[in-house]
Each structure stands twice: as structure tokens, then as C-alpha cells.
A and B are shown apart, each in its own frame.
Chain A
Amino acid sequence: MSDCKLPYSSEWTFDLLQSYDEEIKKVAEEFNLDTYPNQIEVISAEQMMDAYSSVGMPVGYHHWSFGKQFLSVEQRYKRGQMGLAYEIVINSNPCIAYLMEENSMMMQALVIAHAAYGHNSFFKGNYLFRTWTNPDSIIDYLVFAKKYVIECERRHGEDEVEAILDSCHALMNYGVDRYKRPPRLSIQEERARQKERENYLQSQINDLWRTIPRGDTSLETSRELHFPSEPQENLLYFIEKNAPLLEPWQRELVRIVRKIAQYFYPQRQTQVMNEGWATFWHYTLLNTLYERGILDDGFMIEFLKTHTNVVYQPPYNSPYYSGINPYALGFSMYRDIRRICEEPSDEDRHWFPEIAGSDWVTTLDFAMRNFKDESFIAQFLSPKLIRDLKLFSVLDDDADNQLEISAIHNEEGYRRVRSVLAKHYNLSVREPNIQIHNVNLRGDRSLTLRHVQHDRQPLSDDTDEILKHMSRLWGFTVRLETSQQDGSIEVTHECKVSH
């Protein structure tokens, strides 16, 4: 164990980064943080803006929406309305983390602890990431995607490609498999398969062509043919495999967007857990180093100031309030779990009999591996934390002209607050439930989506726009019907395509 103090200065050097990283790594290993190897890249602020606007993909295909993102980041950064994020970290193997050159040595150390050990171990450990992403090949796949898009632009024109990508982006959140694991991708395989698909796919969509009326249809006409036989929730997958008019390259583009959506799917479900985990570990790792005398007071004061900003949760009536800060919530929850393990109160023993008094490192590791935001909160949000954060739930019903406080931080309210908060992070509640219900095989080949309404929440105004995108991909009329709570079904949106 090193007993020498790490030098503290605001200027960083590569040698300093190296020695800080070594110390942090040692402690991380003591806490059994299992990580992918780290690749830490130093970049400038402009490059950070680039990385920012490509939604954290180190290589992205080109699309105007990333340009829009870039312009708005650039504009806000220049006006001083926002600082740049301290870190971007890529779920890949090796795990890529970016350090911004403008940051002080303390910030670099914080980011290393946060991203290279916190997020990294989360990517490697959490079941969603293990199931749904493939960090070994994601960079290869992104490179493949970028090249493929460029080639399509060359061959079929920028506008054509853009139109397809626009439409896919509109449906991106509905391009994920939620229940079955996607096959692993590797670039060679992907390339070979893509060629293969190009040849075969067009012929695979026979379901529709097969139904062109033949002479003797007497048997079939009696029965209403229902396709798909079961509702499909992966809209993009359905389109990729079944849209009658798409060219092979267009199907491939649909596939690319779908794959990327799938790659980001776990991140959307583990915001609180992931950020909380990383924050908890940068806090714990750096504090441990401080306790051992490896970091000095100046470093810690600078660190605590930044850390406090990160985990600040403004109250609901503050002008700075914009919802619950996932860093704050996640961080407090992991701290709270550690507290329950180390010094449980009677209340904790009552609420959390399995973990109260157990080894905190193991318990935390278990929590990190096996949950997503929704189940994590439902499982681990303790009454004490609800009291500390003074959480309360508000019921907003448009049938009522007033809001109602449905629960507060008291004995009667704990369970309700917890379940409401957990539900808030449930993607299937947050996003409208829309599935492909039927394709009219015998008539106009129109496609019907069904929206199952939840708590009478209507779809937003731009639904018509999305249907336009959907029908661009499908090639025929697309309509959307809404199934209300009482079971009635009515067509609410329609985008007609005449041929």
C-alpha cells in the first residue's frame, strides 16, 4: 500500500493522472468493483461538444438531428447557460471515458472515479446491460453503421436516406425488444449477414403477396385472417421484416436504428441506479483515499464542493426545481442501503429484514446487478429516506379541478410514495403503450396500431406526425386506434396513403 501523498495541484499532467488512477484503482479493487479495462481519453471542450451531440456514441452515423443537437449545445455553451458535463462514458469494452482538458486535477480524479470505476462497473454488472448490450462489438457496429449510411447516401441520395432515418428516429423508442435477448453482433458476421439479408429479405415478406386473390379462395374467405397473429410491440422490427415496399438498403437502415435503440435501452431504464452508483463510488473511493492520507485537505474541499453541487436536490417550490435529480436520489439510496447494512434501526429491521445488518459491499453489489430503476426504488426506498427527502405525492386528475396530496412522508404514506415514484421510472407507464395490432391483408394493406390507454392519458398532439413517419416506412395507410379504460375502441389518428 502506498503511503505517499498524491500531489495536489490544479494543473493536471499525464503522470499525475496515471498515479491518481493507480490509487483509485487499488481502492476500487478492495471494494470488489469489477470493471472492463479503462481507456481514458483526454479531449478538448470542442470535442466534448461533438461527443455530446452524438448522444454519447463515439462514432455516429451522420444525421441532421445530431447537427441540431450540436448547434443548441454550442449556443448554450457560448452564452454560458450551461457548463459541459464533466464526463461522458461509453459502454464498451474497453470502457471509454472522456476527460476534458479544461478541468482541474481534482475534477479529473473525480471523473476517473465516477466514470472509469463507477459507471464502468455498472455497465459490466447490471443485468440489463449484460442482457441487452454487447460492449465488445458496439464500436465495430457503430463504425459499420456509419459507413453503411454514407454508402447509402452515395448510392441513393442524401434525401432518401434522411427521410428513412427521420422516420426511424420517430419510432426509435418503439424499436426495442423488451423480452427476448437480441443475438450478439460482430462486425464480420454483421457484414456477411447484411449481404445475405439484402438478398433474402425482399422475398421474406410473402405474407402479404401470398394473399393476392387466387382462383379458389372459398375456404379462406370465411375466416378473418389476422396478421400479425399476436400484437407486436417492436414496431421497427416489424417494419424491417414485413414492410412490403421497402428496399433492402432501407430495411438495413431500419435495422441500424433499431440496434442502436436497443443498445441505449438499458440506459433509459437505469438512470437513477447508474448515476447514483457512479456518484456513490466516486464519493466513497475518494473519501477512502482521503482517510488513508493519500489525498490532502485542499483536494477534499474542492471535491466536496463539486460533489455537493452534483447531488443537490432543490425542493419542489424552488425556482431551480425541475423534477427529481437522479444523481441525488440514486446517491442517497445507495448511501441509505449502506447505512441499513451497517447501523440498522428497528424500523429498518422491520422494513428490510433481509439486508439489515448484512455486509454492505455484497448487498450493494447485489442491488446494482439485479435491478432497474423501477424495481430498485420499489425494493430499496426506505422510510427514513422518504422522510429525509420529504417526499410527497400529488394526484393530478383532469376530472378534478384541484390537485390532491395523496401521500406524504408518514407511516400511512410510505408505501404509496414509494410505489408512485417507482412507477414514474417504469418506461411502460411513462411511454404510451402502442403495439401493432393488425394488418389488413385482404384489402388496402393498411396497418393498425393500438394504443392501450393508461389512466386516461391521451397521446400528444404530434401523434399525426409520427403516423406519417410510420406510413412512410410501411408504404400504406396507417391508423391508430385507442382502447379506452372502459374497453371501447375508436380510431383516433389516421394517415392515408393512396396508391
Chain B
Amino acid sequence: MSQFIDRRPNGKNKSAVNRHKFIRRFKSQIKKAVSEAVSGRSITDLDRGEKINIPSKDISEPVFHHGAGGRREGVHPGNTDFVTGDRLPRPSGGAGGGGGGDASDSGEGEDDFAFQISREEFLDIFFDDLALPDLVKTQLRKLIKYKRVRAGYSTDGVPTNINIIRTMKGALARRIALRGPYQGELREAEERLAALKLLHDEQHPEITSLTRRIAELKAKIRRIPFIDTFDLRYNNRITQPEPSSQAVMFCLMDVSGSMDQSKKDIAKRFFTLLYFFLTGTYERIDLVFIRHHTIAKEVDEEEFFYSRETGGTVVSSALKLMDEIIADRYSPEEWNIYAAQASDGDNWSDDSPLCRDMLINTIMPKVQYYAYVEVSDDTPRGLWREFVNVKKACANFAMQRIERPGDIFPVFRKLFKKKAA
């Protein structure tokens, strides 16, 4: 007698552990694929998983087997016109006619092992061991707005908040409840009265007493108030803290002649990373792109990264524009403001101290976090030196230098490094 068992309710994720182990093991390769994917995507196009390709040879599990060569003989079906002793050229590229050792089916015809990771896995890997430093975290705490929300009903409050339906419901219930004992007695009395009336005349003492009693009861019932202060119900509202779920990220970039495309590319990746990081925290993020040489201008993403301009550099122009935009559209009470600035470090020398003052006095108090990256392999110049002072003054200011594309990720991680407890 065979036994049938329904295993379907058992759950299907038996392989989850193994899948997780796989991802853990090839984290470095997957991470590479992820960071490549980031540079290929537009800053805002992050809300999806990613197809990961890993070269098959990296994940192959070696076993002893024969390589090509030697003498081998194999049998095949479906002979059409061969006769013994026929000689034919070796098929090129294929495994030859031998087929003796093609026991392994993995990796055949496939160079890469491809699979899909989910958005969560994508982000997890991306932000792996990345967190805001403690100090910055406090600075970065999201803005809190308070909102009054409904929270049921209360028994006291102001008259405007009276909830009529709840109040009337309560009153009705109370009336029914209080009337209950009288009503019962009244009904009995009335029935008895009706019965007595058939047997006796009006003057019968019992009838008079009953009539009196009925009048009494009716009066009592009438005295039950239609509405009582006890019935009153008020809409209750409480204040609830509501973290502001919106953020604005300012991208500031120097587009003077000295910033070539490769430097811009590096800057783009950095901005992407920051944006990416913020998407994990906020529901809505606005991006503001400000480019500047001697004058600053707000542009769209395309123009920001890909159009060329030349000229000198006045960094303060961008800061000034940023401040104006904040005043204009992004009130610090409602918006979490982040800024990332990329530059090659060139600045008109008189301007750098001005930048420092502007940052310390006007901008830094308004923003949650300000990251400055210098894309340059030269020795640090005026702007860097002035910004060092800003860093000293403001805890939520961070600065790093990037020399090659390879530095971006480490630098980004350094900026947002987990601090050992």
C-alpha cells in the first residue's frame, strides 16, 4: 500500500540557505557586478534588482577529468551513409567526434553564470557594512514634523470636537439601559390593569393603585434625560512625530576647463552613490544640479554631466546659488538637505576663504550632510586647505580626495564608514 503525503504546505524555501551561501561566497564578484551596474545606470534608476554575471570559471567546481587529446572512440546513433574506414575531417571548434569525456554538462556553451538578484539583495550588497558614522548620524537625524492624527475618542474635549454619532449612540444605549427595569414593570402593570378592567369596575382599589403606579412609572421613564454629559464623546487627536520623508540632494560640480570628461565621470559615480544611499532612507528625493565655472547655473542631469564649458572657477558662485535655491524652494524645516560637491580643487584664490565663510555661516547650519570630493591627483590646493577649516568647524562636513575611478567606492565608504563601537 503506497502512502500519499501532501508536502505542498511544507514551504518552498528549502534552498534559501544555500542560495544565501552562494551569494555570500561570491560577494566580491557580485559586488563588482553591482558597482559596474551602478555606473551604467542613471542616478535615479535604482529601484530594481540586477542580473549578475559571474565568469563560469570562477565558480566552477573542479573535478578530475580528461582534457582534450589522446585517443578516444565513441558511439553515435543514426548513421546515414558512413561505412567502416571512412575518414572525415575533425569538426572544428566542437568537441570532436569522440564525445568520450563530455560527462560534465556544466558550463557548456555558456561563458558566464548568470542569475538575478533582487532589489533588496542589490542594495544590501551595495551598502554592505556601510553606515553613517555615529557623529554624523545624530546630525543626520531626519527632520521631525509633528502632525495631529486621530486616535479614537475621549470623554472630554472642546465642543467643536464632539462626535455626534458616537454621542447619540451612547445616549441611546444609556436610555435603553436605564429604562429597562421600569419598562418591564410598566408592561406587567398595564397587562394586569387590562385584565382587571374586564373583571371589575373603575373604582376597584387595585385598579386605582395600578393606574397610579403606571403614571408614576411613565413619569420616571420620562425623567430619563435624552442626553447627558455622560454621553458626550469627543474626537480624540494626538500629536505624532512624523519624520519628514523628503530630501533634496544638491549636486555641485565644477565644470571649468580643467574638469575633463573622466573627472566628471568619477564625480557622477560619486553622486550616484550618494543618491543611492539616500534612497534607502527617504521616500522622495529631489535632485538639484548646480554647475559652475565663474558663474553658477542650475541645470538638468544630462547637461550637468555631459556638456562642456570652459573658463575660470569661482566656487562661491555655486554656493550662493545653492543658498538661494534653498531659500526659494527647500525650506530646511521641511526638507532634509544633502549636498555633494565635486571639484578638481581649482579655485580663484581670493574666493576660497569666501567659500569657507559661506559654508560655515550660512550653508552648513541648514544641511544634514555635506560631502566634498576632490577629483585630482595634484597636491591639495587653496580650496582644500580652506575646507579643512570647515571640517574642523562642522561635524557634518566630510571631505575626501579621489584620484582614480577605483577610489570612488573606497572613498565613499570612508565617508560613510561604520564606526567601531
Chain A interface (Cβ < 8 Å from any Cβ of B): 14, 17-18, 21, 25, 37-44, 46-47, 49-50, 53-54, 62-72, 74-75, 94, 98, 101, 112, 116, 158, 162, 166, 169-174, 313-318, 321, 323-324, 389-399, 401-410, 412-413, 417, 420-421, 423-424, 430-432, 434, 453-463, 465-466, 469
Contact = CB atoms under 8 A, between A and B. Distances in A.
B74 A432 contact: no
Contacts of A71: 19, 22, 113, 115
10 contacts: A25-B2, A42-B4, A65-B18, A65-B61, A69-B18, A112-B2, A158-B21, A393-B74, A394-B76, A423-B73
Contact of B18 (A62, A315, A430): A62
A390 B78 contact: yes
Contacts of B159: none
B84 interface: yes
Contacts, number: 266
Given A17-B4, A403-B90, A166 B61 contact: yes
A39 to B, nearest CB: 5
B72 A396 contact: yes
A396 B102 contact: no
Interface string B93-130: 00011111111000000000111100000000000000
**In the A-B complex, the 5 residue pairs with the closest CB atoms:** A315-B78, A67-B22, A457-B70, A67-B18, A396-B98
Tell which of A424, A453, A454 has the most Cβ of chain B within 10 Å.
Answer: A424
A14 B18 contact: no
A384 to B, nearest CB: 14
A158 B21 CA distance: 9
Interface centre among A49, A70, A172 (most CB of B within 10 A): A70
B70 A458 contact: yes
Contacts of A405: 82-88
B76 A318 contact: no
Nearest to A398: B69
Nearest to B95: A396
Contacts of A101: 8
A13 B75 CA distance: 44
B223 interface: no
B307 interface: no
Given A406-B73, A431-B65, A64 B18 contact: yes
Given A391-B77, A394-B73, A430-B100, 6 more contacts: A37-B3, A316-B78, A317-B80, A394-B74, A404-B85, A455-B70
A313 B77 contact: yes
A50 B102 CA distance: 26
A54 B15 contact: yes
Given A63-B21, A393-B74, A42 B6 contact: yes
Given A67-B21, A404-B86, A432-B65, A43 B7 contact: yes
Contacts of B203: none
Kindly name the residue among A316, A406, A461 whose own CB sees the greatest number of chain B CB atoms within 10 A. A316
Contact of B24 (A64, A94, A392): A64
A40 B5 CA distance: 6
Nearest to A73: B15
* Most B C-beta atoms less than 10 A away, residue of A43, A170, A405, A456: A405
